[in-house]
Each structure stands twice: as structure tokens, then as C-alpha cells.
Structure 1
Amino acid sequence: MRHRRQFILSAAALAVAASLPLSAAAEAPAKIGFVYVSPIGDAGWTYQHDEGRKEMEAALGNKIETRYVESVAEGADAERVIREFAASGSKIVFATSFGYMNYVERVARQFPNVTFLHATGYKSAKNFAPYNARFYEGRYLNGVIAGKMTKSKVLGYVGAFPIPEVLQGINAFTMGARSVNPDIEVRVIWANSWYDPGKEREAAMTLISQGADVVTHHTDSTATVQAAEERGVYAFGYHSDMSKYGPKAQLTATTHHWGEFYTRTVNEVLAGTWKPESVWGGIKDGMIKLAPMNPAVPEDVQAMVRDLEGRIRDGSFHPFTGPVVDQAGTERLAAGAVMDDATLGRMDYFVQGVSSRLPSSR
């Protein structure tokens, strides 16, 4: 009798639930997947994306459920992870490295009802779009500080791969430095990896041994800042504030902030209003910020940088304002002209002031 009564009560409860409007029924949270190219750690590229994920979780609460896989190589493994997220019910997949682009494109065609966002790429489709930050804005400001702080007039830069976003940063850093110190020379060593602390450290140490008294990097680990701290030279962190790894060395850092973008994008997808538009946000959008400046930076230099930062924010100054001249002496942008986004996205050269050469395969 007791079992029959329980069944009747359960059936009644189901009937009541079925009669409720959809809005009254609890909806399952939307699944969202993140693919990370390096370990999360406590600083760096992936760390900043994961901080953005957490910020989004705090903002959206039980509307979403996030998952992530870290240290995913840019190859067949990336395609497998992206596909598994889509096949297991993810409504949105964020793939956070340049080398994931073609794999995202392939999987997006197979899952037309899933929305895919790809960091730093350039391809798009109906359910697939790129997003990026204007790293070069912070790099120009770092360059101005470097130009004022260097004594050797040699600056060092550890790069991952010679792709447009990295070249934009190197060139902006060089132009910023030479705007205040035209005798500056920038030397570049490629790690050929986004995340390889050993190679990054070796490259930074080599640059320092070549006379660089200020170094920076476009790689994911803190190795360059740590090397600078060890050798008693200055550095700029990247992606994150890395001052705890180089309290004396780090002058500031170009930091990236993704939380507002992730929150806004997910809200749009859930509301059905998202469109596959390329997003490229900078200082004015809050996606690029400078970390607090080291007290070693003189007050007049800090004031100069804050003024430039404000001008970038209000649109009255663009780091790639002509003349822009490459290493061969060819004018790439006329005096007074401002480089448009399409041209920036195709950047494949070093500007004057960079003494290193691009790999011959390019």
C-alpha cells in the first residue's frame, strides 16, 4: 500500500510540474567549454583567460556550467578536445590560442548549433568568430618606459612565433622606445613555443648577455621576468602582473582582461542575439591595462605614460601612426596616417630599430 501511495504522489507531482509554465521549471545550466594551450598556473596567458572564466561564472551564476582542459597542444589533440566539448553538450566553446583556428573551423562546420569563439585568429563563419585584444597598445607604452630607463640602449624581446600579433607587439614596443630615444636597438630571440619556461629563460639570458638591460616577452611563462630579476636588469611582464616574480625587475606589465567579454558574449548567445563579429578590444574597452608601475620609474615618465594611455583611450593617439618604416628602409605608412586594422592584421615585417631578422622561411 505504501509503495502504491508513493507512486500516486509521484505521479501527481509530475502532473503538477508538467502543468507549470516553462519559466517556472528549473532550466539546466548552459555548458561552456574552454580550451587552454598552457597550464593555468598563477600568471600568464592561460591564467588570465581562466580569471575571465571565473569572473563570468560569478556574474552568471547557475545559468552556466563551465569546463576546461589545460595544456592542449596546437594540433590533432586540440581538434579532439574541441570536438569532445561540442559533442558532450557544450553550447559555447572558447578556444584560446592562435593555432586552434583551423581546428575550430573544422569542428564548427560539424556542429552548426554550437557557438565557437577563437582567440587571436581571423577566420569566421555563421557559428564561429574570432576575438582578440590590442596588445600593441600596452606594448607601445612599455616601450616608452624602456626607452627612458635603458642605459645600454639595447632592449631584449623573447617571442613565441613570428605571426602578426607578435610582430605588432615587437614593433609597437620598438616605436615607443625610439619615440623617446632614437638610438634604441631591439633584439629578438624566438622560443618557437607559447609555453616553454626553459627555452624562454635561455632566450632571456642570452639577450641579457648581449647587453640588453631591459627585456620583455610574448610567451606564456614568467621565466623572462625571473631571469631579469636574477641578473639585475629591468623587465616588463606580459599577460599578467608578474611583479611577485620580479619585484625589482618588473617596471610594469601589459595585462589582458577577458571577463567582461566572456560574460557579455555568453549572455548574447543565451539570448539568441549573438552575431559572428570579430572583436578586437583595447585600452578603451578595458581589455588591456597596465600593471602598477615600479617606483623605480621616475614620476615624469609615469606622467608621460599616463598621458599617452589616456590619449589611446580617447582615440586621439594610435601607436601605429606614420611614418612607419621597415628594416629595409621602405615606408610602410606615410607620415600622419593611421594604420587600419586590416593592415595591422597582415603585419609581416620588423620596423627600423629592430636589429634581428625574421626567419628566412617567411
Structure 2
Amino acid sequence: MTKLTTLREPTRRQILMTTGGALAATSLFGAPARLRAAGPVSVAGIYTVPVEQQWVSRIHKAAEAAKATGEVKYTFSENVANTDYPRVMREYAEQGAKLICGEIFGVEQEAREVAADYPNVAFLMGSSFGEDPDLGNLAVFDNYIQDASYLSGIIAGAMTKSGNIGMVGGFPIPEVNRLMHAFMAGAREVNPDIAYQVSFIGSWFDPPKAKETAFAMIENGADVLYAERFGVSDAAQEKGVLAIGNVIDTQPDYPETVVASALWHFEPTLNAALKAIQAGEFTAANYGVYSYMKAGGCSLAPLGTFAGKVPEDAMKMVAEREAAIKDGSFTVEINDEEPKSS
């Protein structure tokens, strides 16, 4: 949390210099009235990758759904480099956006400084750090779908014959690490002796590199792959092994390969933000809780073509744990540490 502390001091100075204490008042009394929006909310999405990418696609899908119902007016920019991200934030704020959504994992401090300059705009940003009470118009979120990842791990543990599972991720940051750990914990419920191969490709969208990394894991004995990135399921399909999907359901594209997927639903997160804006109550908060299974923010995809092919005992365990997660009697551990190969 050292980095977050260094972020807050510039933010306080920015508040005093540029907003005349407006954000300080926000911390004490809630969102300023000017954050309230009547009618459709003008929403802008800023994404560093294509909207087809798993993680971003869920935000985009939720915004498009809200647009279809008339709740929002939605526009977006994709493939925005981190070096350009603050500039694009400012452009949308100047153009009248009332809610700006995106991901600031690679530009935390600069993005927060921009938010401090526009106290009349609500920012809902994917972040590895927490909300800042002194920056009342910026709320954070992340895909806390560890509940669904855990359940998919149970299925993976039941489906592996070699006892060797390969896991390919983008970067070893909290939002990836916690899903991998939850998946591994689920697999260990079935077989505590499973070996894991863990690798990160250093990119959020590089299917060829993810595919090559997966090939190497298959050659090293993996017969089930955790496809945190696009490209992994392609390798699994070509080599005749199984895969577990992440964030979106890719089984329609890989009907004989993808057994199950942990799905992220961004709609509860976006709906909560829109409700807060319309009520004039948007303020610094952690919206990550809306990704939990009990909030409807994640689920296990239907097995589809693999229905009846997963061992019955494993599916019974999945059903029992899912019910316990939803009623609060079982909690999946959140472990943000970088996972290692075993």
C-alpha cells in the first residue's frame, strides 16, 4: 500500500489548488449536487485494449445493455495507450461525460490527478488500489470473481488425468493472482497433489504468445489449461486437451475443449454507480463487492457440451459450495500474492 500513500499527497494538493475544497466537502457530506444526473447518464468508456478482450468486454457489454434501455448515452475509446490515457480522460470530461469508466492499472497516479481536476464528473475505474477518501468522485472496482473461479477449479481438478494443470495469465497483479489462487484452491478440493505450471505473458492481449506458452505447458504434461488469456484455448483445442475459461463463456467457440468458465457480470457494478449518480450520492467507494457471487457479479457458466461428462461427485461439491457461497456460510479466500508453479 506504499504506492497508494504516495498517490494521496498529490491528490490533496490538487484538491486545494484546483477545486476550492469541493472534494473535501465531498468526503464529509457525500457527492456534490453537480454529480447528480437527471435522465440518461452520459457514459464514456476508456479501454487500453480492444473491446473484444475478455475483461473489457464485460464492461462494454454492460454499458451497451444500459444504452439499449435508455439509461445511458454511451461512447468509448479502445486501444488507448497508458501514455495517452490521462489526455483521453480529460477530453471526455470536457465533452460533458458524467461517468467515465475504464482501467487505470498502469496509470494510477496520473488518472487520480485528472479526476481531482473534474469534481463534477464521476470516475469508476478498475484499479489495484483502494479508493481515496480525499478524492470523492473516483470509485474503484476490480473483477472479484474468485467465487466462480474456485468452482471452476473443482471441475478442473476432477477432469485432469495427469494431475498437471497449466495456467497462463497476463500480468501477476492482484486481479489475476486472486483468480488463479481461487482456481487452484478449488482443484485441490478434488486432488491436493495436483501440480501447477504458472506463467505470465506480460500482455493483456497477445493470443499468439499465450498460445505458445500453453503449448509448452502441454508438452510438459498439462492436460487441463486455465485460460486467463485469449490464445490458451486455441492451443488446448489443437493438442486435444481441456481448458477452463475466464471472465467470458468461450465454450461456443471451443465446444469440445472448454469444460467450464468463471463468468464476470459487470451489470451490478455499473447499475450501482448509475443509481448513486442519479441520487446525487456517488462518492469514493470500492465497487469490487458487486463482483461477488452473492451480488450477482459472477457465476459459473453452464457446462453445455460437457454436461454429464464431469464426475457426479465433483458437480455435487460445486452445487454445495455455490449454495454456501451465496448464503455466506462459505467464503473463498482472496489471495493477491503472485502464484508460483509447483
TM category, shorter: 0.7 to 0.9
2:332 to 307, 319, 330: 319
Residue-pair matches, total = 297
Output the amino acid matched with 2:87.
R
Conservation of the 8 A alpha-carbon contact between 1:53 and 1:262: yes
Conservation of the 8 A alpha-carbon contact between 2:171 and 2:202: yes
TM superposition shift of 1:29: 4.6
State the partner residue of 2:273: 265
1:134 to 132, 144, 153: 144
| Whole-Å separation in 1 of the counterparts to 2:174 and 2:128 | 10
Conservation of the 8 A alpha-carbon contact between 1:36 and 1:97: no
TM-score under structure 1 length normalisation: 0.77
State the partner residue of 1:180: 190
TM superposition shift of 1:100: 4.2
**Would you say 1:121 and 2:107 are equivalent positions?**
no
State the partner residue of 2:96: 89
Conservation of the 8 A alpha-carbon contact between 1:33 and 1:66: yes
TM superposition shift of 1:28: 7.6
TM superposition shift of 1:308: 0.9
Output the amino acid matched with 1:117.
L
Provide the secondary structure at the position in 2 that maps to 1:156: strand
Q: Larger relative CO (CA 8 A, sep 6+): 1 or 2?
A: 2
TM superposition shift of 1:241: 0.2
* CA displacement 1:223-246 (0-9 Å, x = unmatched): 111221121111111110001221
**Would you say 1:249 and 2:257 are equivalent positions?**
yes
State the partner residue of 1:48: 58
Provide the secondary structure at the position in 1 that maps to 2:92: helix
TM superposition shift of 1:182: 1.3
2:337 to 330, 337, 348: 348
* CA displacement 1:298-341 (0-9 Å, x = unmatched): 33322221211111111111122xxxxxxxxxxxxxxxxxx6xx
State the partner residue of 1:34: 45
Tell me which stretches of 4 or more aligned residues in structure 1 moved more than 4 Å.
none
2:232 to 216, 224, 230: 224
**Would you say 1:233 and 2:244 are equivalent positions?**
no
Conservation of the 8 A alpha-carbon contact between 2:66 and 2:72: no
Q: 1:257 to 1:195 in 2, by over 3 A?
A: same
Q: 1:30 to 1:177 in 2, by over 3 A?
A: closer
2:208 to 198, 201, 220: 198
Structure 2 residue runs of 5 or longer lacking an equivalent are 1-37
* CA displacement 1:157-198 (0-9 Å, x = unmatched): 001111122221222222211122111011111110111111
Q: 1:64 to 1:140 in 2, by over 3 A?
A: closer
Structure 1 residue runs of 5 or longer lacking an equivalent are 1-26, 321-338, 357-362
Provide the secondary structure at the position in 1 that maps to 2:125: strand
| Whole-Å separation in 2 of the counterparts to 1:134 and 1:30 | 26
Conservation of the 8 A alpha-carbon contact between 1:118 and 1:129: yes
TM superposition shift of 1:40: 2.0
